Structure 1
Amino acid sequence: MTEERTGAHFRQAERCAEELIRRLDGDVRIALPLGLGKPVHLINALYRRACEDPKIRLHIMTALSLEKPGGGNSLQKRLMEPFVERVFEGVPELAYAQAVSRGELPDNVTVTEFFFKAGSRLGNPDQQQRVVLTNYTHVVRDLLALGVNAVGQMLAPDDEGHQVSLSCNPDLTLDILPELRKQRESGQAVVIAGELNPELPWFGNDAALDRDTFDLVLEPHNQPMRLFPVPDLPVEPADYLIGFYAANLVRDGGTLQVGIGALGSAVVYNILFRHRDNGLFNELSRRLDAHSRFPELAAIGGSGRFEEGLYGCSEMMVEGFLHLYQAGILKRQVVADRALQQLLDDGVIPDPLDISALDRLCEAGCIETVLKARDVQWLVRFGFLDDACELKGGRLALGDEAVRPDLGDEKARALIEQYALKEQLDGGVVMHGGFFLGPERFYQGLRELDDAQRARFDMTSVGFVNHLYDHPLGDQALKTAQRRRSRFINSVMMQTLNGAAVSDGLEDGRVVSGVGGQYNFVAMAHELPEGRSILTLRATRISAGRPESNIRFSYGHCTIPRHLRDIVVTEYGVADVRGQPDVEVYKRLICIADSRFQNELMREAKKAGKIPKDWKVPRAHRNNYPQRIAEAMAPLRDHHQLFPAFPFGTDFTEVEQGLVQALQWLRDATGSRRGLLAVLWRALRQSAPGAAERPALERMGLTQPGGWRERLEQRLVIHALRVTGVTRTQ
């Protein structure tokens, strides 16, 4: 095949980039998906050409540009560099993102993002100035305002060559394509470009498009195509307790949204824990005295197994949703028909199916008693009848049988039930997601789903997922019916006593990450019947080597305003603050703060007149200390092997896992000058390394230190390993 045989198919990224530049007359304003779905080879070729030719103008508009992790200090580099070399082998890198990190973008190249990897651009003035802060559902509008004239997307090819899948990122693409077509119809130059990657898991439903949707299609030849694997973060004991309380708030038969990271993993782990080991789950409740201290747990959520199951509706499909599906929890099907959805929610449709299911559909007006062609097509579409069923010559063809399609005829009913009716409804989906991102084992797990399983997952538009407004893929009434008992669980950095939450930026104006879809889900929870927003955070953080409270009296920035306050969860419990007067909001949030900071929070609240002068923290909430967490979890962790550091697996070896824990402690403990001196003093007094430390020292290249710096690093590693209990104290 020659490069121009179809006028759109390319094997070399450079030629595809040249054609894109030619069609846009050297002024390329290209939108790329958030996270995984960037066409790496195409955008790298575009970036190289812009670097070579200053007359080309390249504006890249995107979010979450993925880069391989690096280490900060010498010890972190010793740990991470071999890990990155091993885990990221064959993963292509984004050249523009590397240039952004180095501060080396040429003058004719601009990068605008609406979401950063948390903290990655705090010290980058160029990106702090160019960031566009917007709700996820407003990104398409804002891209159009910035003058976007091209889209680039990684695509999964089908086996026949007729279709492609948006796979990991239909989130914005589905909504921006119609807008770009309008621009083209008005005479503007527009290019829609795709890059095929057979490593990308195929998803159909809304994500499947005809290949000719794309003007240019790059099929890279002899290029690395591995998908970017996101390394797992360790889940700390505090995270697990946050996840435990959040799991108690989830209603069986409801809807779940959860985010990425350690807190998201902890939530999913505890939902699995509640379902699989319900007795132990409730034993932990008793050890924490959870239900007597927080009676809202029973009123809002539940503590039993998930018999009805859950439906996932989340802008990000995290790995945890795959685990929930495999465990038989993510099984509540939703369908694109409001009347049928209501019947399913009301429990009217029998499971397994029998002929009475069709009677109930007749009573609801979904089908007629004497089936017409549209009725048969509807029943096949939503999985009631076998795919081969069709109406021919006024009779219903059932394999070798053909009957009058009359549900009032007993013989016809018996034959339909015997030959056509499926055992279980299979025409719905259990998950609507906007994008996915995770470790390699997650991608492999998605690839291993069979066609029927994969059809249960609908990767689609965030315009559909993230709010309730009417959308071409579903109107507000349908979404409301699907999203019953919604629990939207998101993490924040800080929570103020007035109910406002801080999750995307600092009070000096710098952007840590971005709003993303968090505001969308918080607001939607207030609109849905029985919907709740659950914001999670650790009660404390380590700053300059010392603990600080993440529950603050006030802060000079907020992401979620106080009038949208709902449920807040820390490792110390739950504060249900929706619809409460300020005095109750302040009290309840103080009750889930770390007890080392409760007195100061009370003092400030009383000074401002927000709580009575004589109010005290109830006795049940005065023991909010880290050691209490350890005491409550220890029996379950030690005797039942629960709450591992990496609940769903990790690319770190066992030795590396211990080093991750030790180096995290070392980073926190040396955050202040005083802490640094104390750690150095104790490290220098450590005895010689023993057999327990040898594997870790070998991994760090410190078994035979060559100079004073390496000898000091060896002592620091030994000290950190022993303090954290990774190795036995010598």
Structure 2
Amino acid sequence: MSVYEKYKDKLKNSSLEAVHVVEAGDDIIVPLALGEPPSLIKALTHHEGLKGNRLFQMLSLHPVIEVDPEKIKVISMFLNKDERRAFSTNEIDLLPNHFSDLPSILRLATKNRVLMATVSPMDENGYFSLGTNCDYIAPLLDEAKTIILEVNEYMPRTYGTNQVHINDVTSIVEHHAPLVETPEVPVREEDRIIGKSIAGLINDGDTLQIGFGAIPNAIMDYLKDHRDLGIYTEMIPDKVVDLYESGAISNKSNPLALGRTTATFAFGTKRLYDFMHENKDFCMLPVDETNDVHNIAKIDDIVTINATVEVDFLGQCNSETIAGRYYSSTGGQADFGIGARMSKRGKGIICLHSTAKEGTVSKIVPTLAEGSVVTTSKNDVDYVVTEYGVAQLRGKTIRERTEALIGIAHPKFREELRSKAKELGYL
């Protein structure tokens, strides 16, 4: 039987028919963000045969499904805005993780695994591509009880360890819809100042881990005249296209895929998705490879850039909670912070605005708020950058750290912070 005959045999008339192979008690795992198959997930809510199932998802781009938790319990691995509300009202649960550990955590925490994913159309050799994704799904493909695919012609075909063969697929549905795009993020003056400071820490030939948001966008605006940059990251953002077009990227120092950008997922606009389509300059790898601290440590001159909610005088970073309530999750921040520390000449950069709530709250704090999570250890923080400057913490004592962090806090809070530091015995 040819691969096309196999495809036709496994193609279902509807998403509901495609998910009928899911049995009660199965654990269902979907990729993060764009890899999530929206029509298949919606169909699960109409599947009458489900009970005691769990749906594991991460950074979903869709509202939380409305379903009886006795039927399907939703477990998030990184909260989106809808999931924050649902978690606070006990509608869903949250699975703590380092992004790099997710394949092993899911092997440990799940059974009867059903993998569902959005993929590009099948090629002539019978392979689908996970497209913008590889993440924690690819390492689990060989062990899956069931694989259900949602074929979307808008999903770019990419290369790397993110291929699925028709022989391994149980059922298929076609659902062609434009991919969700990142919203336009306004760049404030503070973002530009921070971006310029961080760009000043990046040298020609450095390899970058960078993501999406106003500050990363500002940083990349200042990198267009750099040369021989590499991209070794967990997420490919839209602005990477600008760096390619300016000639800034060569990837001449990437030990895992020489000459290629490596990542485990992408999220941007149609411009990025079109640029990635059948572009062999991109190599999509599983998250337990891209975020493995040992692999990161092999990259000399790596610069990792991550955002946080607040930093205390010790250098501890809380990137997950606000006022003690969960806002997101760890992601790959700790992975890259540790990897950069282990790398030769690596730099781990944490960035944040100096204030929140329209300037009424300092984000440089004496101690983290009660109930806060320590996302990145004080021992793994190198640079902290606000619009008021750069504090290098590595190699600094507690008192030196305290002085440096007060120095990049908003001026109106510095006197109060200094007083608190004296009360704590840090100054």
Equivalent residue letter for 1:145 = L
SS at match of 1:41: helix
- What amino acid does structure 1 have at the position aligned with 2:208? L
Normalised by the size of structure 1, how large is the TM-score?
Answer: 0.55
**Which one-letter code corresponds to 2:361 in the other structure?**
E
- In structure 2, which of residues 205, 228, 236 is the aligned counterpart of residue 317 of structure 1? 236
User: What is the one-letter code of the residue matched to 1:48?
Assistant: H
Q: Which residue of structure 1 aligns with residue 245 of structure 2?
A: 326
Distance 1:578 1:322 in 2: 32
2:179 to 227, 240, 261: 227
Matched-pair contact (CA < 8 Å) for 1:429–1:457: no
Q: 1:174–1:560: structure 2 CA closer, same or farther, 3 Å change rule?
A: same
Q: Structure 1 residues 120 and 61 mapped into 2: Cα distance closer, same or farther (>3 Å)?
A: closer
Aligned equivalent of 1:410: none
Secondary structure in 1 aligned to 2:153?
coil
Match in the other structure for 1:44: 42
Choose the corresponding residue for 2:33, options 22, 32, 35.
35
Give the corresponding residue for 1:8: 10
| TM superposition shift of 1:40 | 1.6
Distance in structure 1 (CA, Å) of the matches to 2:128 and 2:4: 21
Determine the structure 2 residue equivalent to 1:173.
137
Count of aligned positions: 421
Of 592, 604, 618, the match for 2:420? 604
Q: Which residue of 2 aligns with 1:61?
A: 56
Q: Deviations over 1:582-641 (max 9, x none)?
A: 111000111111100000000011122211xxxxxxxxxxxxxxxxxxxxxxxxxxxxxx
Provide structure 2 residue ranges, at least 5 long, that are not aligned to the other structure: none
- Residue 503 (str. 1) matches residue 316 (str. 2): no
SS state of the match for residue 84, structure 2?
Answer: coil
Q: What SS does the corresponding residue of 2:311 show, helix, strand or coil?
A: strand
Would the alpha carbon gap of residues 252 and 499 (structure 1) be closer, same or farther in structure 2, given more than 3 Å must change? same
Q: List aligned pairs for 1:211-610, cutoff 5 A.
A: 211-220=166-175, 224-272=176-224, 275=225, 306-307=226-227, 309-334=228-253, 428-447=258-277, 451=278, 454-469=279-294, 476=295, 480-481=297-298, 483-506=299-322, 508=324, 510-542=325-357, 547-555=360-368, 556=370, 557=372, 558-610=374-426
The Cα shift of 1:57 comes to 3.6
Q: Measure how far apart 1:432 and its partner are.
A: 0.4
Matched-pair contact (CA < 8 Å) for 1:122–1:512: no
Give the Cα–Cα distance (whole angstroms) in 2 for the partners of residues 603 and 129 of structure 1. Answer: 42
Q: Structure 2 vs 1, CA of residues 176 and 610 (structure 1 numbering), >3 Å: closer, same or farther? A: same
- Once the two structures are superposed, residues 50-89 of structure 1 have per-residue CA deviations (whole angstroms, 9 ceiling, x without a partner) of xxx375343110111113xxxxxxxxxxxxxxxxxxxxxx
Aligned pair 1:150/2:150, yes or no? Answer: no
Please list, as runs of the form range in 1=range in 2, the aligned pairs for 1:695-714 lying within 5 A after superposition: none
Task: Quickly say closer, same or farther: Cα 1:336–1:603, change in 2 above 3 A.
Answer: closer
SS at match of 1:205: coil
1:10 is displaced (CA, Å) by 2.4
> 1:667 is matched with which residue?
none
Give the SS at the match of 1:240: helix
Q: Hey, what does 2:103 align to over in structure 1? A: 140
Q: Distance in 1 between matches of 2:5 and 2:57?
A: 29
In 1: Cα distance, 2:95 partner to 2:309 partner: 20
C-alpha distance in structure 1 between counterparts of 2:91 and 2:291, whole Å: 26
In structure 1, runs of 5+ residues without a counterpart are 68-93, 182-189, 276-305, 338-426, 470-475, 612-730
Deviation readout 1:374-411 (Å, 9 max, x if unpaired): xxxxxxxxxxxxxxxxxxxxxxxxxxxxxxxxxxxxxx
Q: Deviation at 1:484? A: 1.7
User: Which has the larger share of helix?
Assistant: 1
Cα deviation, residue 12, structure 1? 2.1
Contact 2:262 2:283 in 1 (8 A): yes
What amino acid is aligned across from residue 290 of structure 2 in structure 1? V
The CA distance in 1 between the partners of 2:92 and 2:174, in whole Å, is 36
Change (3 A) 1:139 1:202: same
In the superposition, the TM-score normalised over structure 2's length comes to 0.91
Larger strand proportion, structure 1 or 2? 2
Q: Point out the structure with max Rg over C-alpha.
A: 1
586 and 568 in structure 1: CA distance in 2 versus 1, 3 angstrom threshold: same
Distance change >3 Å, CA 585–CA 5, structure 1 → 2: closer
CA distance in 1, matches of 2:86, 2:360: 23
- Give the Cα separation in 2 of the matches to 1:173 and 1:161: 21
Provide closer, same or farther for how the CA distance between residues 55 and 468 of structure 1 changes in structure 2, counting only shifts above 3 A.
closer
Question: Residues 492 and 159 of structure 1: is their aligned pair in 2 closer, same or farther, counting only changes over 3 Å?
Answer: same
> 2:107 corresponds to which letter in structure 1?
L
SS at match of 1:157: coil
Structure 1 pair 13–120 and aligned structure 2 pair: CA distance change class (3 A)? closer
Residues 2, 488 of structure 1: CA spacing in aligned structure 2 closer, same or farther, 3 A cutoff? closer
Q: Kindly indicate whether the alpha-carbon contact (under 8 Å) linking 1:156 and 1:198 is maintained by their aligned counterparts in 2.
A: yes
Given that 1:501 and 1:559 are in contact with CA atoms closer than 8 Å, whether structure 2 keeps it comes out as yes
Query: 2:380 corresponds to which letter in structure 1?
Result: L
CA distance in 2, matches of 1:458, 1:205: 5
Q: Secondary structure at the match of 2:326?
A: coil
Question: CA shift at 1:259, angstroms?
Answer: 1.7
Deviation, structure 1 residue 214: 2.2
Query: What's the secondary structure of 1:27's corresponding residue?
Result: coil
The CA RMSD measured in Å over matched residues stands at 2.5
AA aligned opposite 1:434: T
> Which structure 2 residues correspond to residues 112-131 of structure 1 after superposition, within 5 A?
112-117=75-80, 121-122=84-85, 124-127=87-90, 130-131=93-94
Structure 2 vs 1, CA of residues 259 and 4 (structure 1 numbering), >3 Å: closer, same or farther? closer
Contact 1:311–1:333 at 8 Å: present in 2 too? yes
CA contact (8 A) 1:538 1:571 kept: yes
The one-letter code sitting in structure 1 at the alignment partner of 2:364 is I
Residue 121 of structure 1 aligns to a residue whose secondary structure is helix
